[in-house]
């Protein structure tokens, strides 16, 4: 700490008016806000990329099913009008609505 000369104007008072911890805490708050903003942007980008990957995969599934003939679709238990909703269900875009049947082989058959 430096002593203020006698008769020195108040404008030349020691820096004690601006404690270092106040400056550091202001800087820390700004850094925290920046980090939170960057985290929010990164989270948005991750969600956008996941959505895009899901949509591309869903489109590939639709394309793959559309090239099948009606007999192959029938063997799968899918009609041509269900292709889009089936692809959306498989990739989690909508809630599953199809009932899956579990066929058990009986002993003796």
Q: DSSP letters along 24-61, please?
A: HHHHHHHHHHHHHHHHHHHHHHHHHHHHHHHHHHHHHH
Q: Is residue 3 part of a domain?
A: no
- For residue 77, being part of any structural domain is answered with yes
pLDDT of amino acid 30: 80
pLDDT at 4: 52
Number of domains in the chain: 1
61-63-68 Cα angle (round to 5): 100
Residue 51 within any structural domain of the chain:
yes
Q: What is the pLDDT of residue 28?
A: 75
Question: Which pLDDT belongs to residue 1?
Answer: 47
Which residue, 15, 35, 34, 13, is CA-closest to 23? 15
- Decide if 2 is inside a domain: no
> What is the rounded average pLDDT for all residues in the chain?
80
Looking at residue 49, its pLDDT comes to 96
In a domain, 95, yes or no: no
Residue 7 lies in a domain: no
Residue 22 domain boundaries: 15-90
Report pTM: 0.56
What pLDDT does 95 receive?
86
- In angstroms, the CA 109 to CA 103 distance is 13
Residues of the chain with pLDDT under 70: 1-24, 100-109
The answer to whether residue 10 is domain-embedded is no
pLDDT of residue 68: 94
Kindly state whether residue 74 falls inside one of the protein's structural domains: yes
Q: State residue 67's pLDDT score.
A: 96
């Amino acid at each position: 700490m430096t002593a203020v000369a006698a008769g020195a104007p108040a404008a030349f008072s020691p820096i004690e008016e601006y404690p270092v911890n106040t400056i550091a805490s202001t800087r820390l708050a700004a850094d925290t806000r920046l980090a939170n903003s960057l985290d929010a942007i990164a989270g948005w980008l991750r969600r956008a990329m996941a959505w895009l990957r899901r949509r591309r995969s869903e489109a590939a599934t639709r394309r793959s099913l559309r090239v099948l003939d009606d007999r192959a679709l029938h063997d799968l238990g899918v009609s041509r009008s269900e292709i889009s909703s089936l692809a959306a269900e498989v990739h989690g875009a909508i809630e599953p609505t199809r009932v899956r049947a579990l066929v058990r082989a009986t002993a003796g058959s």
